[in-house]
Chains A and B, each alone.
Chain A
């Protein structure tokens, strides 16, 4: 067994999710290599080499990979895949964008968003917005897999893998990066935060999300939102938690003014402890909440902030 992991990186830093993907790879077993593709990625490669259990970091440093476009990245992975039985990536927008392209080019299926490794060819994954768990077995020669990072504990640092450059085909005429607009935040990243506090339609307006900020600051929490809050224009869509947004599984998830639609629950119901604050005592969110508080969030939130 030999496994290649596509590293996730942003602004010259290794993304936290990669350490979780290494954990999934260790559950499969075998030699684990990490591919770092980007421009000026020395620090990313160093960080990847330090992850426990990594044998080798392969580095493709070229401007063509700078923005992680699917076309050149998939072409690079196709060229490297001969050496491996498994290719893994985090189930992030980058992993979801690139890996199916690799799978199709190698004429194999892809297994999306695995939650559990049963054996080297059998995996568990959620279907129907997490309302059912499928066990699937692959007989393909190459297993192409995206990993739900919140389902695997991150491996520790302390490794010292070798770093080697890889020869890369750097042509890409079909797609071009124009620009990006990233949400600025000092808070922890939503996908890996230990505590998440989310607001829904009940927040009433974008301004009212400030009520969550004081609490988030005191708890070191990330702020999320339901699709209703995003669609209403209260907050940007990269804050959305749910089947179509981010999947989170923090220690503590506080849902404020969120009814608890199936779509939203798919994104947070694996949280360790769920708290619901809602004025409707029949809201479905109370069926999954460990602690529910029925009342007006405009009174409860300031009181909660003061109490913390």
Chain B
């Protein structure tokens, strides 16, 4: 079966972010960018499905600026067969991304779409669900295990009280949780080979999708900082302070 994997270029997860002085947004100039960690897991899962003989072709797709092609090349180095770049410099919210991905799904007709459960910049946790809704597909979010069983997709999901397993008819959308797998590193020869793999560029206009949003970002602020506390010397002192000073025991 054909698998479509959506990836996003985001600020590297180790970077301590700065809010712009005018509070309009987070400052992304000269900041290290990388593939969103949940998207890496999505790519890895697609590659494993291909290695098991379940998937026949993997198409990686991203929506974002020119530079996001780096993340598509990473996906290609990890094992994707070809890539589609929906290029836009605009700030695209989840709903618009979902509509763009839906247009790509309509063209590519994949049997399975895998996305990360959330991007670590916007922390929305929406795109997979929205894509599933727009494409009329069932969804399995927060997946920690995916298997194909008699033409049905069986997915174990991480839910608040533990785990839940659901069966989906294909085509379907799956979003990955952290424990689904441990992504591999791209090897240098694969990185070189990835440069020759096909990467197709499209625009939102060509896909007939408006990236307008009903949401407006009014401002971004730094959260209230916690005051540095004190170090105590012993368990006795700790319990004493929690009782008399903090009054939480």
Which of B95, B117, B231 lies in contact with A104, CB distance below 8 A? Answer: B95
B17 touches A132 (CB 8 A): yes
A132 touches B223 (CB 8 A): yes
Instruction: Pick the most buried of A100, A137, A195, A238: most chain B CB atoms within 10 A of its CB.
Output: A100
In the complex with contacts A132-B222, A133-B223, A288-B226, A108-B214 CB distance below 8 A = yes
Flag whether A105 is at the interface (Cβ < 8 A).
yes
Which of B94, B158, B159, B248 lies in contact with A109, CB distance below 8 A? Answer: B94
Closest chain-A Cβ to B214's Cβ sits at a distance in Å of 4
Flag whether B165 is at the interface (Cβ < 8 A).
yes
Which of A103, A127, A135 lies in contact with B218, CB distance below 8 A? Answer: A135
A residues contacting the other copy or chain, number (CB 8 A)? 89
Complex Cα spacing A272 to B224, Å: 13
B214 touches A177 (CB 8 A): no
Closest chain-A Cβ to B3's Cβ sits at a distance in Å of 18
B residues contacting the other copy or chain, number (CB 8 A)? 82
A290 touches B230 (CB 8 A): yes
Q: What is the total of A-B residue contacts with beta carbons within 8 Å?
A: 254
DSSP majority for the A interface? mixed
Closest chain-A Cβ to B92's Cβ sits at a distance in Å of 11
B242 touches A291 (CB 8 A): yes
B129 touches A104 (CB 8 A): yes
Flag whether A304 is at the interface (Cβ < 8 A).
yes
CB neighbours of B218 from chain A (8 A): 122, 135-137
A128 touches B133 (CB 8 A): no
B130 touches A104 (CB 8 A): yes
Complex Cα spacing A96 to B165, Å: 17
Closest chain-B Cβ to A186's Cβ sits at a distance in Å of 14
Rank and list the top 10 A-B pairs by shortest CB-CB distance, nearest first: A100-B129, A104-B130, A140-B214, A174-B138, A290-B229, A104-B133, A100-B126, A182-B162, A175-B138, A252-B248
21 A-B pairs (CB sep. < 8 Å)? A69-B166, A70-B138, A108-B95, A109-B93, A127-B123, A128-B123, A131-B223, A132-B26, A133-B222, A140-B215, A174-B168, A181-B163, A238-B158, A252-B246, A262-B14, A286-B231, A287-B226, A288-B226, A290-B226, A292-B232, A303-B235
Question: A133-B221, A133-B223 known; 12 other A-B pairs, CB under 8 Å?
Answer: A97-B141, A109-B93, A128-B17, A131-B222, A133-B222, A136-B215, A178-B165, A252-B246, A273-B246, A286-B231, A290-B227, A307-B236
